[in-house]
């Protein structure tokens, strides 16, 4: 089952770049909600699976939606030039979307926080699409991922905690 949550700064919900990002998000969610995609995600999302295996399931759709894979050059103006998002899509002259697909290290290695930081320091992206497991199976049980990431991301959308990220779109698989 696909779970979603959109978090955004107050007052941006009528902006064209936000509305464009939301349309792209809805198309991606629709694709990920299709029975065939759900079956592939469920079959792949097992103990010791890699995020690349999840990426492979959505790669064709992300390209169709205008994303480029591991876009180089987004951080050339910074000292961390080697950073690359999993996917990037330009929206207009001032805005774009960074998309990150996570699996096992989402919470354990704070990958969700690294992903919002990457979007925060990127001059060409204001929105983050974060694709994460709802629940991650471990050798000793299960970890709830989606709700934990949602709780952590919501803090960035309290006015006193605003960053350069105008919106985070979560997709749980």
Close Cβ partners of 61 (under 8 Å, ≥ 6 residues apart): 27, 28, 31
What is the rounded average pLDDT of the residues 163-171? 98
Q: How many helices (H) and strands (E) does the chain have?
A: 5, 8
The values of phi and psi at residue 172, to 5°, are -100, 135
Query: What tokens appear for 161 in the block?
Result: 């905690």
Q: What is the pLDDT of residue 98?
A: 97
What pLDDT digit, counting tens, does each position of 7-49 carry? 999 999 999 999 999 999 999 999 999 999 999 999 999 887 8
The percent of residues in the chain predicted with pLDDT above 90, rounded, is 74
Output the pTM of the full model.
Answer: 0.92
DSSP classification of residue 159: G
What pLDDT digit, counting tens, does each position of 106-145 carry? 787 899 999 999 999 999 999 999 999 998 877 677 788 9
Query: What tokens appear for 36 in the block?
Result: 């065939």
Domain boundaries, the chain: 3-172
The CATH fold of domain 3-172: Restriction Endonuclease (3.40.91)
The values of phi and psi at residue 117, to 5°, are -65, -45
């Amino acid at each position: 089952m696909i779970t979603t949550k959109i978090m955004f700064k107050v007052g941006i919900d009528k902006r064209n770049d936000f509305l464009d990002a939301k349309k792209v998000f809805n198309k991606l969610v629709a694709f990920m909600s299709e029975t065939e995609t759900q079956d592939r995600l469920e079959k792949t999302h097992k103990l010791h699976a890699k995020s690349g295996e999840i990426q492979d399931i959505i790669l064709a759709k992300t390209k169709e939606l205008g994303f480029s894979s591991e876009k180089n050059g987004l951080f050339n103006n910074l000292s961390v030039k080697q950073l690359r998002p999993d996917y990037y899509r330009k929206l207009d002259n001032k805005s774009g979307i960074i998309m990150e697909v996570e699996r096992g290290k989402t919470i354990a290695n704070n990958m969700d926080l690294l992903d919002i930081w990457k979007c925060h320091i990127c001059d060409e992206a204001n929105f983050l699409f974060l694709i994460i497991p709802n629940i991650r199976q471990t050798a000793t049980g299960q970890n709830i991922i989606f709700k934990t990431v949602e709780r952590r991301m919501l803090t960035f959308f309290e006015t006193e905690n605003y960053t350069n990220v105008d919106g985070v779109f979560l997709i749980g698989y």
